[in-house]
Amino acid sequence: MESPEDMVDVVDKNDVTIGAMKRKDLLARKANFRTVHVFLLNKKGELLLQKVPASRTRAPGWGSSAAAYVRSGESYDEAAKRIVEEELRLRNVLLEFRGKAAMTDSGCRKFISLYKAVHDGPVTLLPGFTEGAEFLTFGKIGDLAEHRSREFTPAFLYLLDFLLAKGKR
């Protein structure tokens, strides 16, 4: 499970490692960093959305896909595999790289690698890490976001637009 004490790589504007620091210090120091998101779909093409607990410091209550900071020395692929195993409790799921994007997050440059996985069985979420989850169609997610019927993390919405713009659902 992720911790604010985890060491993560600090990267330059080109996503080249230039150092490392504790995750909890990244935003205050305006350090650039790496994350991964995994869009888990069922065979109907619905996307799993998780509700972030109110106890979390970043984006509590907002919907998101499975996401993680890339730890120091870890590759994007390794981080994606870790988060699927830890957060979604799934093993042997094929991860498909869908693209890499960058966005500004609290004055930092956040590099995000996006992966897709398909799983049609039950998902057992990490206790305390999410308040629940549900599979929704991309259309329903778009409607919820457009009408502000539900809040989503900025990174999730950014990646959703990124994916749809590339026609890579």
Q: Is residue 25 part of a domain?
A: yes
Q: Is residue 14 part of a domain?
A: yes
Q: Is residue 77 part of a domain?
A: yes
Q: What is the total count of domains within the chain?
A: 1
- Tens of pLDDT along 33-90? 999 999 999 999 999 998 877 776 666 666 788 999 999 999 999 999 999 999 899 9
Q: Yes or no: say if 131 and 56 are a contact pair by the CB < 8 Å rule.
A: no
- Tens of pLDDT along 118-127? 998 888 877 7
Q: Is residue 1 part of a domain?
A: no
The CA dihedral of 55, 59, 64, 67, to the nearest 10 degrees, is -80
Q: What is the pLDDT of residue 137?
A: 92
Which of 105, 130, 132 shows the shortest CA–CA distance to 55? 130
Q: What is the pLDDT of residue 83?
A: 93
Q: Is residue 39 part of a domain?
A: yes
Residue-number span of the structural domain to which 45 is assigned: 7-121+129-165
Q: What is the pLDDT of residue 15?
A: 97
- Tens of pLDDT along 6-39? 899 999 999 999 999 999 999 999 999 999 999 9
Q: Is residue 2 part of a domain?
A: no
- Tens of pLDDT along 91-135? 999 999 999 999 998 899 999 999 999 998 888 877 777 788 889
- How much is the pTM? 0.89
Q: Is residue 144 part of a domain?
A: yes
Which of 118, 98, 33, 103 shows the shortest CA–CA distance to 68? 33
Q: Is residue 86 part of a domain?
A: yes
Q: Between vectors from CA 85 to CA 154 and to CA 6, what angle results, nearest 5°?
A: 65
Q: What is the pLDDT of residue 133?
A: 86
Q: What is the pLDDT of residue 143?
A: 87
Q: Tell me the CATH number at 56.
A: 3.90.79.10
